[in-house]
Structures are given as structure tokens and as C-alpha cells.
Amino acid sequence: MLELLQNFEQATGRFSPTLLIVSGVIILLAGLFIWLGGLGLGRLLGAVTGAATGAICGFFVIRRTVLSAAFLAAVLAAAALIFEKAFFIILTTAMAAVLTFALFARPYLGNPKLLSATNRTKVAAQKPTLSPRETVEVVKAYVVNAGGELKRVCSKMPSHYWVFVWAATVIFFFVGLKSWRFVSAISCATLGAAIIFAGMILLLLYKGSAPVSGIYRKVPLYCGAFIVMAAFGAIEQLLLCRREIKKQQIKKKKKAINLDELESPAAGQGWRT
């Protein structure tokens, strides 16, 4: 798996620099927004996340066509809008499972190749820059291969590691049922931090800095930074994003007004009699 990621890292030397820069900046800004303010626009974030998940699964996993990607994106976006709380609970439990899996799967990812930034530069110099269509085809091929490698890693992991993965999933699911706002804040902060990392990796790929190899060499450092970012984002959103509390207060006020309107005619009739 690690060797496949490093091969992809080298292949990006043939990608258009404009594509890497623009996509990296857009993803980075989106990650910052979700990291610090995702809880404030839960429905919009849920719809965008659902649409992105559906588009990725439809285009790269299921039928790998634009039509399937658009259809699945629309279905998941609508589901996220209608079932907002359920969507965020599922998203949080899924991220808990993925992060726990990543923690235990590291020994089975393979050994890194000894690469440097000059290797990527040589690849870029030897072959011409890929067109956007060719870039999509290359990414699709790597995604398919990554799915096969992921299955291999899952088959190698001992069964007792899967107990921890399922335990984390179940714990976050029930915590989400009890405290939806807390889980949503963690979900937004963790998702935002992951997207920020993805945007930074794209920008570093443009610079030819071999970020995959660098992250693997300093896993504890980057894991610590990720945890700190997720914790800070969750605390900040719990303190500053009061959207859900305001909604509850508005609902209570509306209920009180409706009760007063119902009671006032009854009181008037009693006085007249």
C-alpha cells in the first residue's frame, strides 16, 4: 500500500502544475472552513459531504461513469439534508472506524522505497505533462489498485485488532445518540483537519517535496499534530457555533407562543360565562 502511494506521488510529477495548485488551494480553504465553522452550517456541510462522497464512490468505485457519480451524489446529498443528525452520527462512526483501522494497519502497509524529490523531477522531465482526461484516468487506476491493496491489508490484520475497530465504532455511535452536538463538532473538526492535510499534500506534490515519504518517516509527529488540530477545532466550534442551541430556543419560544394563543381564547370564554 505504501509503495503504491509512493508510485502515485511520483506519477503526480506529470500532472499539470495548475491543477495541483488550484485543487490544493480550494481543498485547503474548504478544510479550514469545515475545521473552524462546520458546525455552524450543519445541513449545508452534510449535503456537500454527502454529494462529494456519492460522486467519489459513483465515479471511482461503482460504475465509474459521470452518470452514476451524479446520481449517487444527488441521493446522498438529499439523504444528508433530510436526515441531518443521522448523517453526522454515521459520518462520525465511519471516521472513528477509519482512524482506528489506520492506527493498527500501519505495520501491514509495507516498506517504503528510498525516494527523493529528484526522482519525481526525473519522471516529470522524461515524460510530457498529462492532459486533464489522462489525469483522471491515472487517478482512477490508482484508486482501483488502492482498493485491492486495502483488501490485502485487511486480510493480513489479526482478528483481535478488528475488535478495537468495532469497539470505537459502537462507542461513537452511542455517544452520537446521546450527545449529537458534541459528536458533530468532533466530526466537523476531524474532517476539516483531514481535508487540510489533503490540500497541503497536493501543494507539496506541486513543489516536489515527496510528502508521503515524509509523513511516513515522522508518523508520531503528524499524528500528534492531527489530534491537536481536531481537538482545537472541536472545542472552538462547541464554544462559538451556537446554531443548534439557537434552533432549540426558537422552537421553545414558538411552542410557548402557541400555548399562549390556545389558552387566551379559553380564558376569555370562561370570563364571559
Dihedral of the CA atoms 13, 17, 23, 24 (nearest 10)?
70
- CA–CA separation, 52 and 31 (whole Å): 14
* Phi-psi label, residue 262: left if phi above 0, alpha if psi -120 to 50, beta otherwise: alpha
- What would the mean pLDDT of 100-121 be, rounded to a whole number? 69
- Residue 116: DSSP 8-state: -
Helix (H) or strand (E) holding 142: helix 132-156
Q: What is the pLDDT of residue 267?
A: 46
Structure confidence at residue 270 as a pLDDT band (50, 70, 90): very low
Helix (H) or strand (E) holding 253: helix 243-272
Q: What are the pLDDT digits (tens) for 81-107?
A: 788 788 888 888 988 898 899 888 878
Q: What is the pLDDT of residue 229?
A: 93
Q: What are the pLDDT digits (tens) for 10-27?
A: 888 788 888 888 888 998
Residue type, 182: F
Q: What is the pLDDT of residue 163?
A: 92
- CA–CA separation, 73 and 61 (whole Å): 13
Which residues are CB-contacts of 256 (< 8 A; sequence separation ≥ 6)? Answer: none
Q: What are the pLDDT digits (tens) for 163-185?
A: 999 999 999 899 888 888 888 88
Angle, in degrees to the nearest 10, between helices 66-82 and 84-105: 120
User: Average pLDDT, whole number, for the chain?
Assistant: 78
HEC assignment per residue over 10-36: HHHHHCCHHHHHHHHHHHHHHHHHHHH
The total of other beta-carbon atoms located within 10 Å of residue 127's CB is 11
C-alpha cell read off for 167 = 469497539
pTM of the model: 0.76
- CA–CA separation, 192 and 47 (whole Å): 15
